[in-house]
Copies of this chain bind each other. A is one copy, B any other.
């Protein structure tokens, strides 16, 4: 679990993530400052690093659950650098994220991912995640939408 001292590594990995997938990035420095600020402020997030260095990162955010007590976790980011994939780091990050989320009182975890990212989807499905609103009914697939405000 990353502490404030690890914010630089988290920021650098998030920047590499955005860059690799052609997403706009505010840059490693700005991301490092933002991560440090969130950790400092006690924001209820988990920033995980795959050790020893520069391998991968996962970010889990939390909100109070609406339909029960406890928390709902949201996996906001999961990234393993390209030359260290298929070594189990993604699975290890996810298993740690789920364990720590459970320990904090989360009863559900959510995430969004691209339909074409079959590697990530395979991992999530092997770990028990489902994108079906009704178990077994593929017509009830859930879509993730967003817009700028």
Which chain B residues lie closer than 8 Å to A115 at the CB level?
A: 139-143
> Per-residue CB proximity of A86-119 to B under 8 Å, as 1/0?
0000000000001001100011111111111000
User: By the criterion of a CB under 8 Å from any partner CB, how many residues of chain A are at the interface?
Assistant: 55
Task: Say whether A52 faces chain B, with CB atoms less than 8 Å apart.
Answer: no
| A76 CB → nearest B CB, Å | 6
**Given A110-B112, A128-B147, A130-B145, 11 more pairs with CB closer than 8 A:** A26-B67, A31-B66, A34-B67, A35-B66, A61-B63, A98-B149, A112-B144, A129-B147, A130-B146, A131-B146, A141-B143
Interface residues of A (CB under 8 A from B): 14, 18, 25-26, 31, 34-35, 38, 41, 43, 59, 61, 63-64, 66-69, 73-74, 76-77, 98, 101-102, 106-116, 121, 124, 127-131, 133, 139-149
